[in-house]
Structure 1
Amino acid sequence: MTAAVAGLPDADALRKQVTNVLDGFLERKAGAAAKLRMPAEVAECLRDFLAVGGKRLRPVLCVTGWQAAGGTGIPETVIKAAASLEMFHTFCLVHDDIMDDSGSRRGAPTVHCRLARRHGHGRSASAAERVGTSGAILVGDLALAWSDELLHTAGLTPRQLDAVLPLIDDMRSEVMYGQYLDVTAAGRLTADVEQALHIVRYKTAKYTVERPLHIGAALAGAPLAMHEALSAYALPVGEAFQLRDDLLGVFGAPEMTGKASLDDLREGKHTVLVALALQRADARQQRVLRTLLGTPRLDAAGADRIRELLTATGARDAVEDLIDARRAQALRVLETAPFPPRAVAHLRQLTEAATARTS
């Protein structure tokens, strides 16, 4: 993230405020669990997960939406509402890692792997894995429930709650539909770029950028026209964000991304990158891609061969072009958007940070 702009909150300071809210909430949950002789490790597990890192992008965008709609200062109620989005995101990530069978997240073991190791003593490997997966599902479920609790105890007015709850309901449905599309499309290799973009819009663009901005704006009492302007900016940025993520998932350095670079290839994810490669590949390249993509035991040599073809077919460059086009589209929207100058400046920063990132 670039340096703070005059009149804007420092993004690092904002992330720290959100983290403090989450830490305090989870500390209270661990204490309450201990008094009831319940496993405090559940709350501690979530605290450890959040402590490893994360961009806190959704809370930052929620606060930016508040500012874009004319909200003044950053009230504690808005910070708490923004923090509830990060708790919901934690639920999504814990379950996503189970669905993707991922061993690492943000450079640390995923929750299901951590729990399998913690409770594996005296169990077979398969039994430990089952306990880890089951435990992580429940930890994720609690993160979902606690995201609601954080929102409802944030101190929002009845009018604010009435404004944001339908948006949160929409956000949750959209991201789960998007994830469902992603899961059911994996392993079914196709050159359907439009379907891949449809997944991108619902799995990421609306959930990561559009709805957090809408929620922040709704807290400030924004009219419908403001939501429409935010959507015109948010959707291209959100799509570019996921397209960059797809590139990093294949070509990124694991020490930078915090995830293994083989996961997406082994799963055979239906990404725009893969769809474009299949669309452009000749018969020989098609055979190689269809043979290797989605192979659960794909090795490093096979992954390198896929990367070569993703580059040789021009798919990698084409995705970079799509990112550039969406970045430019979002920046054009900001030229005429009805947002205060400080919010425009912040959104410009976020556009670059979201689309040109390396992790």
Structure 2
Amino acid sequence: MTSSDSSPVAFVRAAVDAELARFVAERRAQLLEIGGELAPVVDALEAMLAGGKRLRPAFCYWGWRGAGGADTPDIHAAAASLEFLQACALVHDDVIDNSDTRRGMPATHKRMEELHARSGWSGAADGFGRGAAILIGDLCLAWSEDMYQASGLGLEALRAGRRPFDAMRTEVMAGQYLDMLEQVREDGGVEAALRVMHYKAAKYTVERPLHLGAALAGRYDDLGPVYSAYGLPLGLAFQLRDDILGVFGDPGQTGKPAGDDLREGKRTLLVAETLDRAAPADAAEFRRHLGDPALTPERVEWMRALVEDCGALAACERRIDDLVGQATAALNTDLIDDTARAPLADLIVAATARKH
């Protein structure tokens, strides 16, 4: 990295953004040949792509560099393909959770619902919005595959990358289903929350992108275990920070209303720890309000206070510190190229010390 690069994510982001812009422009032209009515679809897709942190491409890129790969446009394009998978997951996640906003903007299904209402079309606007968002998410999934295959990397490298690339897509869908299941069963504890985090976040956000970078560079077999030892604890710590921000984060930073995860009833590790640690009467009251979309600011504050007072917040912060320690220790190996060692250490901070 040069001195003007503020972080290993910023170093990758400009190149990833350029690859995404080029790819979407080509696909926009293709869709508009089918019909001008598809312009709002691409607009919505671009809006979802615009605000991402680019963590997954960053882990893929530095996984590649850690395996001795050179800085080439091909790896930037392959890494950028992961942003389409992320966009698919977020669009569908917002439909599942019935979230109104994403990154301070209307969620994709709300955006398409508003298009229906403005246009004066027949039928239910909300149903149209959900259906359109599902299709936009599906389109993102298809384009992820297309961009990966068209990255410019050799066929041998692309074949080697298929194992983690395909596993990543399967695991995130499985993790999403497990997450949905926990919301309706309502009887899972800490271990159930950790299993969801393992598949929906840890493997998907950190471990598999690193694996992909190593595989594309021809070093999956020797670096895969090293990247797992680093990536799995870091991915869990990343999701734990996300869960804490979902309850305590500043709306101006997170782009979501205060306590939004409480209104959505997300069965996070923070919630599981609260229900385990709080007095029975308080836990029952907390459970009764969890998932109420009409939660008042006063009730949100009461729930936040209980999370802190029962020790759940402190327990999660301690767990983050422990997981960060594990990820840091995993970098102490000669198998990782020196070019990537400092950036991978910096990514630990970027993933766990963030405000949004």
Short-chain TM bin: over 0.9
CA displacement, residues 51-87 of structure 1 (integer Å, 9 cap, x when unaligned):
2x21100111111010111112x11111111111111
Deviation string, structure 1 residues 119-177 (Cα, Å, up to 9, x no partner): 113258x8111111111111111111111111111122121121111211111111111
Residue 42 (1) aligns with residue 41 (2): yes
Cα deviations by residue, 1:220-249 (Å, 9 ceiling, x for unpaired)? 110412110010000000000000000000
Q: Is 1:215 the equivalent of 2:204?
A: no
Going from structure 1 to structure 2, the CA distance change for 1:10 and 1:288 (only over 3 Å counts) comes to: closer
Task: Please name the residue that 2:226 is paired with.
Answer: 229
What pairs with 1:84-163 in structure 2 (closer than 5 Å)?
84-121=81-118, 122=120, 127-163=124-160
Partner in structure 1 of residue 262 of structure 2: 265
Which residue identity lines up with residue 43 of structure 1 in the other structure?
V
5 Å-filtered alignment, 1:162-311, equals 162-190=159-187, 192-311=189-308
- AA partner of residue 70 (structure 1): G
* Aligned equivalents of 1:273, 1:129: Cα separation in 2: 31
> Matched residues in 1 for 2:5 and 2:216: separation?
20
**Aligned pair count?**
354
Identity of aligned residues (%): 44
1:356 matched to 2:345? The reply is no
Aligned partner of 2:55 in structure 1 is 57
CA contact (8 A) 1:27 1:43 kept: no
Given the two structures, how large is their TM-score scaled by the length of structure 1? 0.94
CA RMSD of aligned residues (A): 2.0
Contact kept, 8 Å, 2:100 with 2:106, in 1: the verdict is yes
Compared with structure 1, are the counterparts of its residues 348 and 6 closer, same or farther at alpha carbon in structure 2 (3 Å cutoff)? farther
Structure 1 residues 213, 7: closer, same or farther in 2, change over 3 A? same
Once residues 8 and 158 of structure 2 are traced to their aligned partners in structure 1, the CA distance between those partners, rounded to angstroms, is: 27
* SS of aligned partner of 2:124: helix
1:117/1:65 CA distance change after superposition, 3 Å: same
Q: Judging changes above 3 Å, is the alpha-carbon distance between structure 1 residues 284 and 89 closer, same or farther for their aligned structure 2 residues?
A: same
The TM-score normalised by the length of structure 2 is 0.94
Structure 2 residues without counterparts, runs of 5 or longer: none
Q: Does 1:27 align with 2:37?
A: no
Q: Distance in 1 between matches of 2:6 and 2:252?
A: 31
> 1:186 offset after TM fit, Å?
1.1
Give 1:187 shift: 4.8
**1:327 deviation in Å?**
0.4
Cα drift, residue 27 of structure 1: 1.3
Q: Return the offset for 1:341.
A: 2.0
1:317 paired residue number: 314
Q: Is the 8 A contact 1:193 1:272 kept in 2?
A: yes
Q: Which amino acid aligns with 2:17?
A: T
CA distance in structure 1 between the aligned counterparts of 2:29 and 2:96, rounded to whole angstroms: 31
Q: Which runs of 5+ in 1 are unaligned?
A: none
